[in-house]
Homo-oligomer: A and B are copies of this chain.
Amino acid sequence: MTTAAFLGLGAMGYPMASHLTRLGETLVWNRTPGRAEQHAAEFGSRAVTLEETAQADVIFTCLPTSDDVEGLLDRLLPLLKPGTIWVDCTSGRPAAGREQAQRLQQAGAAFLDAPVSGGPTGAKAGTLAVMVGGETEVLERARPLIESFGGTVLRVGPVGTGFAVKAVNNVLMAVHLWATAEGFASLQQQGVDLDAALSVINASSGRSFSSENKFPKILKREFAPFFKLSLLAKDAGIALENVQEVRGSAPLLAQTAMLLRAAQASQSEDADHAELVKFVEAMFGHGTLIAGEASSS
């Protein structure tokens, strides 16, 4: 029977790891160990030391950045069993993923980049979208575990391509959110009922995940912590790096990556990504977007 380990029990990792326990022994580790013990108590996983996770057949990581993953890999690489599969669910950098895959291969282990979309809600429900980069055969071995938390699990190409697709997905989400905020700031100044405008746009061709799922809350000024603005800015930066690596031209993505850094600089470290709207409003220079409300211009 397969033993899984899950490293990184943050807002995403904590619920993701809970699904693994249904399939077999699940080792959990977190930088602050109390969180691992809480997970063990709640879901029947086993809180272990970092070194002990090296005994797992499949090791999952879900951390803020590729640098964090590299730090763990440095420590675990000498301890890994041949045949281990390392599945990195971090929103990482493709180049880092390719390098990690190479180091693991030299140790007889394999690597999949498998970042996820769907937020804490999707993680709890086990319906995350998972974009996988790596060998088909490796994915098939790890698939049952990945499907425990994933509703859509698709291989998008060789190692690193999962990270590449995730970076594009996230920068698109940011583009949609930012552009919608610009549009609504303009409509507000023109005396439009924003609530009605959102309803009709969400029934029209201008709709997006962002307008359907985020904007109703934004117009109520609800900015619950969900996904940090600093991480979204990082992801957009990865997408831009990838464009530059292939010497491509992506003016809208580049512009959005730059604007996100400015929004981040104007907010607190813990700001949620949706709070970029506040910077859009400040740039626009008038008022605050609130449902149904419109200035008299």
**A-to-B contact residues, CB < 8 Å:** 94, 117-119, 129-131, 151-152, 154-158, 160-161, 164-165, 168-173, 175-176, 178-180, 182-187, 189-193, 196-197, 199-201, 203-211, 213, 233, 237, 239-259, 261-262, 264-266, 282-286, 294, 297
The reply to whether B251 and A203 contact each other, CB–CB distance below 8 Å, is no
> In the complex, A172 Cα to B209 Cα: how many Å?
12
- B117, B244, B259, B294: the one within 8 Å of A240 (CB): B244
- B131, B176, B191, B253: the one within 8 Å of A182 (CB): B253
The reply to whether A282 and B265 contact each other, CB–CB distance below 8 Å, is yes
Assembly stoichiometry (copies): 4
Evaluate whether A256 and B252 lie within 8 angstroms (CB atoms) in the complex, with A165-B197, A243-B186 already known.
yes
The reply to whether B283 and A161 contact each other, CB–CB distance below 8 Å, is no
The reply to whether B250 and A197 contact each other, CB–CB distance below 8 Å, is no
CB neighbours of A180 from chain B (8 A): 172
CB neighbours of A197 from chain B (8 A): 131, 156, 165, 168
The reply to whether B253 and A265 contact each other, CB–CB distance below 8 Å, is no
A137 CB, nearest partner CB in chain B, Å: 16
Known: A161-B191, A254-B254, A262-B284. 20 other contacts (CB 8 A): A117-B203, A118-B205, A129-B200, A157-B196, A164-B186, A164-B192, A168-B183, A172-B179, A172-B208, A172-B211, A173-B205, A182-B252, A183-B239, A183-B250, A185-B250, A205-B210, A249-B265, A251-B255, A254-B255, A264-B285
The reply to whether A191 and B158 contact each other, CB–CB distance below 8 Å, is yes
> In the complex, A239 Cα to B206 Cα: how many Å?
13
- B117, B158, B259: the one within 8 Å of A251 (CB): B259
CB neighbours of A191 from chain B (8 A): 157-158, 161
> In the complex, A283 Cα to B209 Cα: how many Å?
27
> In the complex, A119 Cα to B206 Cα: how many Å?
12
CB neighbours of A199 from chain B (8 A): 152, 154
Closest to A251 in B: B258
CB neighbours of A204 from chain B (8 A): 117-118, 129, 131, 169, 209
